Amino acid sequence: MLRPELILIIATILWGTSWVPLHAFAGIGLSGMPMVLAAYGLIAIVSVPLLWYQRQQWRSQIWGVIAIICFGGWANAALISSLSLGEDLVRIMLLFYLAPVWAVIGGWLLLKEQLTPLRLGSLALALVGIALTLGAGKDTFKTLTTIDWLALSAGFAFAMNNLATRAADRVPLVSKTFAAFIGSALFAGAACYLLGQWLPTLGVGSWLLVALFAVGWLLVATLAAQYGVTHLEAGRAAVLIVFELIAAVLSAAWLGDQEIGMREWIGATLVCIAAVMAGWPEKIEPELSRSLP
C-alpha cells in the first residue's frame, strides 16, 4: 500500500500540472467557466446524492457545509478557470499561493489563533515573493487582469475553505469534499448564465476526455490530497503540499511557451518557503483537512 506521503505528492503534482490538459481543452474551445461547468458538473451528479445520503451526520453543522460549498466551490472554479484561460502560469500559481497569508490572517481574526513570529515572518516573506513576481509599484493593482483576480480570489477562498473545514469538525470528510464540488458546479453555472457563455458543441470523444479529466484527474487529485493530509502531521503535510507550486513552475518552464525570469524564480522560492512556514506547527495542533482546485 502506498504511503500517505507519496499519495500527497502525487496529488500535488496532479494539481500543479493540471494546466496541461486545461490548455488542451481550451484548444478545442472549452475554457474558463464553461470548462469548470463541464468538469465539476459531471462530478456534481454523483456528489449530490452522496451529500444527501450523509445529511444526518452533518445536519448539526449545516453552516459548515454551506461555507464549504461557497468557499471551496469558488476556490476550485476560480483556479481552474484562471489556469485554463491564462498563459502566465507562474504568476497565476503565485497569486493563488497567497492562500497561506489569508489563512494566517483568517485564523487570527476568526479562530483567535496567535500571530507568532514564525507566522508573521511567513506573511512578510510571501508578500516579498509576490512583490518580486509582479514588479510591485503604485500601479500594481491597476494592472491586475481578470485572470489575476480569479487566481487571487481562488487563494483567498481556499484559505477560508480550510478554516471552515477545520471548524466543521463533525462533518464527514466525504461530505466536505463533495460539497466543494457541488459549489464549483453552481458557481460555474451562474457565471455562464450571467456572461452568456455556454458549453460548445463537442463530439463524443471530446466529452469522454472531459469526463476522464474530471474523474481521473480532478476527483483523484482531491481525494488523494484529502487522504494524505488527514494521515500526516500538519508540518509534514505543509512541506509536501508545496510540491504543487513546484510542479506548476517546473512544468511551465519545461512545457510552457513563456520564459521564466530570475525574478519569478526568486519569487516562487520565497512563496514556497513562506507556505511551509505558515503551515508549520509551533506546538501540537489538530490535524488540518485540505480541500484542493
Domain-located, residue 87: yes
| Residue 125 included in any domain | yes
**Region 262-287 average pLDDT:** 67
Residue 230 lies in a domain: yes
Encode pLDDT of 156-194 as tens digits: 888 788 778 878 888 888 898 899 999 999 999 999 999
Judged against a pLDDT cut of 60, whether residue 137 lies above it is answered with: no
Q: Is residue 288 part of a domain?
A: no
Residue 149 has a pLDDT of 92
Residue 142 lies in domain: 4-279
Alpha-carbon torsion (43, 49, 52, 58), positive or negative = negative
* Overall average pLDDT of the 75-90 stretch: 90
pLDDT digits (tens, 9 = 90+) for 169-178: 888 888 988 9
* CA terminus-to-terminus distance, the chain: 26
Which one-letter amino acid corresponds to residue 157? A
Residue 292 lies in a domain: no
285 occurs within a structural domain: no
How do residues 228-269 score in pLDDT, each as one tens digit? 766 766 556 666 777 777 788 788 878 776 677 777 778 778
- CA atoms lying within 13 Å on the CB side of residue 227: 16
Instruction: Judge whether 233 and 1 are in contact, CB under 8 Å.
Output: no
> Is residue 127 a part of any domain in this protein?
yes
What distances in angstroms separate CA 216 from CA 24, 51, 137, one per listed residue? Answer: 16, 20, 42
Does the pLDDT of residue 81 top 50, yes or no? yes
Domain count, the chain: 1
CA-only gyration radius of the chain, Å: 18
User: In this structure, is residue 114 part of a structural domain?
Assistant: yes
What string of H, E and C letters represents the secondary structure of 36-88? HHHHHHHHHHHHHHHHHHCHHHHHHHHHHHHHHHHHHHHHHHHHHHHHHHCCC
Q: What is the pTM of this model?
A: 0.81
